[in-house]
Structure 1
């Protein structure tokens, strides 16, 4: 079912996995990207296997600077570059034999869920999108962190940005850590949650360059919800300690094309067990409605 693949994004090779349902004729393809500092090996295959069983092809990829993709320095999060990687992944998907280029679905989770919303706004050819526990507003997420920890992260980000100007080695902060630790996520469920979804991901590196904090804080894909141009299924988690769901719900209410559903689980719970099974079944129902395997 799974094949190794890659595509070029602004001259950088991005590693990808292709999943083929083995159907005759051209089928829809779901392009899949993960969240903050995460890689495709962190359970994207579990979702792809369900989609393939329903007749859809899938392409899961790693952003540049992460996982098996190229890009230096490692663990650098650039929103501009990640959005370019999404556009390149979708263009690559449209070029593949056996794929219907007009029936491409963007699927993203957490920070990648925010990117899926951005694709739904920017790519008018996209057939549909699915955003799982999406990051929609960097300011809202920053306000969920205690001020002292936030200040320490900001100081590290400034120092790292200055080091980058001099060509020095990056300063790294943990991606997920215990509460009170200067990091990108330090809610009580962040470290155990990331550890759970990374259990079978040997390439996961629990760090980000400190300067990445500026991109995270300034990113607000939910602010453009009114410009979404295709049907979007949004799976919010409540309570969500990482991507504030109330802010997301308020922003997405401005889009007549956004179908918003709230699941009574935490941000990391939706990836696992029965919560995963429930959500992925809902996603398949949604894409069967808007992007059927046989048009």
Structure 2
């Protein structure tokens, strides 16, 4: 399976004429400043109890359910796995699972990332993979992660919702993120120190200067121009990272690494055609300078999904979470 990651943003669903007009009005109110880490920290993320929508066939030693939770008044769907048997004293350790870019209108809760999530579920972790707004059946519009705060908000509410589950130990929660999900994982970890450990695969973890100037992926022609314009609107209002570094640094998790509540493990393929290896190299250096614990793996010749080293990367990721959670 190949999952693409793009430096731009997508609209999740085909919209009717009235919905398009409403969407255009909503886009006019989008402000990149809402992505600042300070604003993210000032918001409340109450989440909700996880509501079971559908019970799926069980895994080897865990149950699987499609659940929903609330995020800014939107119903967001997710895939929940829970180890079989009674939970240990204090509850199961848990992992919020942040998937990478998949075209929102073809995304399905139960498809993609199954082998990844299965590895952690088998190892005795509760896992929750949020669909994000506008993906599959989730309400809202899919405006991407990099210039609007919606996906970050959905991840933070997924975290809060998971903490409400009585089977989960709220003090033993980590995050796993791939590609765009790596961007969301790093943001969540600097927003909320209760996230005790993070594993990032092929993550979009450069700062905004790197993302804008060192990331050459081209967006597909199917992305609506009004959505592509979000980046242009932000630059027009706030200037480029070299002209206004204070503003763009205020949006970047990389500027707040001293606030991390736990260690980070990084994995990327040296032949990744989607995300520059330099993003991971820079983050590893920044983490060390911030005095934070980091494990940094670069796999020679491997791709965006670590296809050649999938087993090794999963083993390392599971072991990391077992040690830290």
Q: TM > 0.5 between the two?
A: yes
The aligned counterpart of 1:6 is: 68
Instruction: For 2:222 and 2:311, locate their aligned partners in 1 and report how far apart those are by CA, in whole Å.
Output: 30
Q: Residues 155-178 of structure 1, C-alpha deviation per residue, up to 9 Å, x if partnerless?
A: xxxxxxxxxxxxxxxxx8447xxx
Change (3 A) 1:103 1:20: same
The aligned counterpart of 1:115 is: 184
The aligned counterpart of 1:234 is: 266
**TM-score computed with the length of structure 1 as normaliser:** 0.70
The answer to whether structure 1 residue 246 and structure 2 residue 278 are counterparts is yes
Instruction: For 1:92 and 1:239, locate their aligned partners in 2 and report how far apart those are by CA, in whole Å.
Output: 37
Change (3 A) 1:223 1:91: same
Instruction: For 2:226 and 2:266, locate their aligned partners in 1 and report how far apart those are by CA, in whole Å.
Output: 27
Q: Residues 171-217 of structure 1, C-alpha deviation per residue, up to 9 Å, x if partnerless?
A: x8447xxxxxxx9xxxxxxxxxxxxxxxxxxxxxxx99424555899
Matched residue of 1:23: which SS? coil
Matched residue of 1:127: which SS? coil
Matched residue of 2:85: which SS? coil
Instruction: For 1:68 and 1:266, locate their aligned partners in 2 and report how far apart those are by CA, in whole Å.
Output: 33
Instruction: For 1:5 and 1:92, locate their aligned partners in 2 and report how far apart those are by CA, in whole Å.
Output: 11
CA contact under 8 A between 1:30 and 1:59: conserved in structure 2?
yes
Instruction: For 2:185 and 2:130, locate their aligned partners in 1 and report how far apart those are by CA, in whole Å.
Output: 13
Aligned to 1:259, which of 295, 304, 312?
295
Q: Superposition pairs for residues 1-295 of structure 1, below 5 Å?
A: 1-25=63-87, 26-37=91-102, 39=107, 40-72=109-141, 75-78=142-145, 79-137=148-206, 138-144=208-214, 173-174=221-222, 209-211=227-229, 213=231, 220-255=252-287, 256-270=292-306, 272=307, 274-291=308-325
The aligned counterpart of 1:164 is: none
Instruction: For 1:266 and 1:210, locate their aligned partners in 2 and report how far apart those are by CA, in whole Å.
Output: 30
Change (3 A) 1:58 1:243: same
Q: Offset of 1:69 from its aligned partner?
A: 0.9
Matched residue of 1:35: which SS? coil
CA contact under 8 A between 2:176 and 2:200: conserved in structure 1?
yes
Matched residue of 1:52: which SS? helix
CA contact under 8 A between 2:268 and 2:304: conserved in structure 1?
no
CA contact under 8 A between 1:173 and 1:210: conserved in structure 2?
no
Instruction: For 1:233 and 1:243, locate their aligned partners in 2 and report how far apart those are by CA, in whole Å.
Output: 17
Change (3 A) 1:284 1:119: same
**TM-score computed with the length of structure 2 as normaliser:** 0.64
- Greater mean deviation of Cα atoms: 215-224 or 27-36: 215-224
CA contact under 8 A between 1:34 and 1:108: conserved in structure 2?
yes
Instruction: For 1:127 and 1:253, locate their aligned partners in 2 and report how far apart those are by CA, in whole Å.
Output: 20
Q: Residues 99-126 of structure 1, C-alpha deviation per residue, up to 9 Å, x if partnerless?
A: 1111111111101111111122111111
Instruction: For 2:305 and 2:197, locate their aligned partners in 1 and report how far apart those are by CA, in whole Å.
Output: 24
Q: Offset of 1:225 from its aligned partner?
A: 3.2
Instruction: For 1:232 and 1:41, locate their aligned partners in 2 and report how far apart those are by CA, in whole Å.
Output: 27
Change (3 A) 1:236 1:268: closer
Q: Offset of 1:231 from its aligned partner?
A: 1.4
Gaps of 5+ in 1: 154-171, 176-182, 184-206
Aligned length: 235
